[in-house]
Amino acid sequence: MDILTDLQWRGAINQVTDLPGLTQELQEHPIALYCGVDPTGPSMHIGHLIPFMLMERFARAGNYPYIVIGGATGSIGDPSGRATERQLQTKQQVQANVTALTKQMQQLFGANSNIKIVNNYDWTKDLSLLDFLRDYGKHFNVNTMLNKEVVATRLDQGISFTEFTYQILQAYDFLTLNQKHHVQLQVGGADQWGNITAGIDLIHKLVGRKQPVFGLTIPLMLKADGTKFGKTAGGAVWLDPQKTTPYEFYQFWYNQDDRDVVKYLKFFTFLSHAEIDELAKKVEQTPWKRDAQRALAENVTEFVHGHAAVENAERIAQLLFTNNLQKLTADEVQQVFHSVPTTTIAKTPHNLVDLLLTMQVETSKRQAREDIKNGAIRINGIKITDTNAQIDPQSNFDGRYLIAQRGKKKHFLAQVQ
């Protein structure tokens, strides 16, 4: 099956500027293509994975993707999808983010020699204002730019000249990559259509109408309940393990709705059509086993964090399920309870009732005693029903942490100092 047919089956294509022409090019020879990301922060989140998974698919099909880190465009700010003007970052912030994102991309895609990582600052830094206006700005009609959705949606609120020129800079990227590396296809989110077509128009004006260049966008991904994919109660799900731990990352995918899991298997894994169809049947016939969710969590976590992270996440999940918390390592405790309420306690022994108040597990001594007697309190996974119990905070987890639990799901963490 060719790459475009596969992408269509996976529901990964929203728009293509010239589908017959792109299909012919791919049938005749491998092509070079690109997708960009601006360094607005030090880490990508899972929403960024959607277009970059396409880069990996094209590479595995024998093509040559370029990943563009926007050291130049990130200094300007893309107005796409924003109702207000973006706050500009300092040059130092942009450069720090470029370094962090480059490292992240190398970890994700460095093993695939077909994929190249480049920075658009390298070909933009020596472009003078006069050259920019004379050689490139002259080819952009303001009326056409105003009609682009990315600009039109901002006219009521206002848009600065800085953000207005963003599409010219992105078009310049496509032109440069086409001329230097024979890049023929730009891939982006649905909100990038106007920027992508601006690049195609510039190439056609400067190189020639017959130059075979194309644009492809991916659909906006929504969950079955209509909300935006990738957001949780705690915020974005990051690829940086310091911001979202591998265990949290695994659990995010494992907890997906039955209505969404097959769609995500198509988008975010490299499982075959037959494997996904088989998992789809299991969702219908034995949904309680969560085989599809497990396959999704295992495959995406391995792609982002490696196989060891998958094994670790599954081990932690099993220990939590059996309430066998004492077998967790200190580092695993940090992973699991990364986002739970955290306090600091002294190394000396504590009366259990006082400890629960200090850790804000309970709001009163009366309620603490009642919950202890009712068997609702566990310390490091062990149920304690003695209100006079003395707790040694250094008895587990290398003396670094103590975990209090109220009921089945309420966990609280204390750092021992």
Binding residues for ATP: 231
CA nearest to 352, candidates 333, 379, 374: 379
What are the tokens at 43? 């880490």
Residue in 266, 211, 207, 273 with CA at minimum distance from that of residue 31: 211
Determine the 3-state secondary structure of 351 from DSSP.
strand
DSSP β-bridge partners for residue 349: none
Q: Nearest 5°: phi and psi at 2?
A: -75, 165
Q: Which residues are annotated as part of the binding site? A: 34, 166, 170, 231
Structure tokens at 223: 């969950």
Cα maximum dimension of the chain: 84
Question: Residue 133 has what DSSP assignment?
Answer: I
Please answer whether residues 340 and 412 qualify as being in contact, where contact means their C-beta atoms are separated by less than 8 angstroms. Answer: yes
Q: Which pair of tokens denotes residue 392?
A: 């040694």
Strands 64-69 and 32-37: what pairing? parallel
Contact 189, 216 (CB under 8 A): no
Binding residues for L-tyrosine: 34, 166, 170
Helix axis angle, 291-305 to 258-268, nearest 10°: 40
Q: Give the type of residue at 142.
A: V
Among the listed residues 167, 191, 199, the one whose alpha carbon sits nearest the alpha carbon of residue 47: 191
Note whether 279 and 295 are within 8 A (CB). yes
Q: Token pair 């099909």 is at which residue?
A: 61
- Residue/partner pairs of 284-288 with CB below 8 Å, 24 or more apart: 287/258
Both structure tokens of 40: 């607005």
Helices (H), 110-245: 121-124, 129-131, 142-147, 149-152, 161-164, 166-181, 193-206
CA distance 163 to 169: 10
